[in-house]
Structure 1
Amino acid sequence: MYYLFCHWEVIVLNPNDNFTDLNTEKERFSAREEASTFTESVCWIPKRGSSSPEEHTMNVAFIAHGYGGLVFVDLLVQRKREVMNRVYSVAFIDSTHNTQHQSRHDPEIREWVHKNCREWVSNSKPLNKTVSFLMRVSCPTFSAGTEKYGLAPSCCLQPIFKYLKSMLKARITTASRNSPVETRSSTNKKRGNK
């Protein structure tokens, strides 16, 4: 939570930390340690929920508060294909975006936002109850559980993460039905390298 109050933006990627040493239960190691200790005597097993480095950066989600929502929609308009391929979901909080105005009437962008985004707004309704707006409807909208703009992000984080988790699960399920992504690790497996 400290990051929210300092106005920092955080992205955490650790695509190289995919294995655990079963013998020592050593989980973290640097690239130099990995090269020197990755031997036949070490029993490395894949970490649960961890995949190849390439797959770690394929599924990205955003939580965009206030003007951050407008900035995200601008990114979507400017880099439409890239964003639609990599971003699996967006949670807006009291966002100032306007999909119809920003997307220059691009129906594909409006459809993507409606399908892949949710918004939580400062409102008198209880947390996570449906809220409807007559003026601007770009995606399903829910109450943040508070009427105070400044408290909205902390009040609605639990339903936001639940939503993002369900969207990621749906994305992974859909991706597994399609042909697998060709990655460095899957190419090595095909060649018989370990």
Structure 2
Amino acid sequence: MYVYSLLEEQCHLQRLSLSASQLDPQLKDFVFISPKANESPGTLAVLIQDRGTVRCGQWSWRMIASKGLEWGSQLSYVRRALAESWEVLIMNPNQSSSPEEHVSLAWECVISRGAAKQVVVVMHGYGGVAFVDLLSRQPQDVKGRVHAVAFVDSSHNPWHQLLDTDSRDWLKSKSRKWVLSPKPLNQPVGSLKAECRQLSAGTQCHEAAPAACVDAIFRFFTKILRNRSPPMPFDIVTRSRSHGAPRAVNSPG
């Protein structure tokens, strides 16, 4: 399909079979990954689409047909991640036995074995259900690797899915949920049942939501990752010291 060719030719992603852990374009149960996704110790961006007829690299084929690739495909997310020097993994949950099983298999075969120290995840619709299911299955590994989570009009419910209190608290601190709303993009949207901070996606269309809030999501990721960076040591250099004369710096009080 056309989106696959763009991922491969323009973004230089590769298809990785999950069943044999080898590159094999003929097998259905595969993911797309950037060439150094397994070996890079930096940040890995993971994309999980809604369930249904959408395929790997798509948020919505209807949006592709009506408004173009920038609205319906995941290309804008891939390009933004690569521009940040992040690695990328695109899941393919609708070509497997179930989205939950695919996400679990991709985690076990690729992410948990990779070198990435910082994982950020974007989920649309039922993709959020599959991710929360993964969190319930492997809470310690997920919480140890994933640093930021973006739910986009997600249908997950941590109160109905089997999450312990620690995992619900972790979601509250690490995630944001962009919901359909007439409010401008990124404005708070209150809910008594919200498990994390909710923000407006800037649209009331489910299929348009990922494209509508891409900028807000990347700002959120960048802020979280920046705050996790260790502080750099520095010396206090005064004007006189910079000219060679040492000067004591006294604490106030």
- TM-score, with structure 1 as normaliser: 0.62
Match of 1:144 in 2: 201
- Give the Cα separation in 1 of the matches to 2:40 and 2:155: 37
Paired residues, number = 138
Shift of 1:56: 5.0
Shift of 1:13: 5.5
Match of 2:165 in 1: 107
Counterpart pick for 1:122 among 168, 180, 191: 180
Q: Per the alignment, in what secondary structure is the counterpart of residue 148 of structure 2?
A: strand
Write out the 4+ residue segments of structure 1 that deviate beyond 2 Å after TM superposition. 8-13, 15-18, 171-174
- TM-score, with structure 2 as normaliser: 0.48
Shift of 1:49: 7.2
- Give the Cα separation in 1 of the matches to 2:216 and 2:183: 15
Kindly indicate whether the alpha-carbon contact (under 8 Å) linking 1:13 and 1:56 is maintained by their aligned counterparts in 2. no
Match of 2:150 in 1: 91
Match of 2:129 in 1: 70
| Identity score, percent | 36
Match of 1:156 in 2: 213
Q: Per the alignment, in what secondary structure is the counterpart of residue 160 of structure 2?
A: helix
Shift of 1:67: 0.2
Q: 2:166 matched to 1:166?
A: no
Shift of 1:102: 1.0
Q: Per the alignment, in what secondary structure is the counterpart of residue 62 of structure 1?
A: strand
Counterpart pick for 1:132 among 181, 190, 201: 190
Shift of 1:169: 1.4
Q: Per the alignment, in what secondary structure is the counterpart of residue 122 of structure 2?
A: strand
Kindly indicate whether the alpha-carbon contact (under 8 Å) linking 1:93 and 1:153 is maintained by their aligned counterparts in 2. yes
Question: Superposition RMSD on alpha carbons, in Å?
Answer: 3.1
Shift of 1:92: 0.3
More helix per residue: 1 or 2? Answer: 1
Structure 2 unmatched runs, 5+: 8-29, 42-83, 87-112, 234-253
Give the residue type in structure 2 aligned to 1:167: I
List per-residue Cα deviations over 1:73-94 (Å, max 9, x = no partner): 1101100010000000110000
Q: 1:97 to 1:49 in 2, by over 3 A?
A: closer
Q: 1:56 to 1:63 in 2, by over 3 A?
A: same
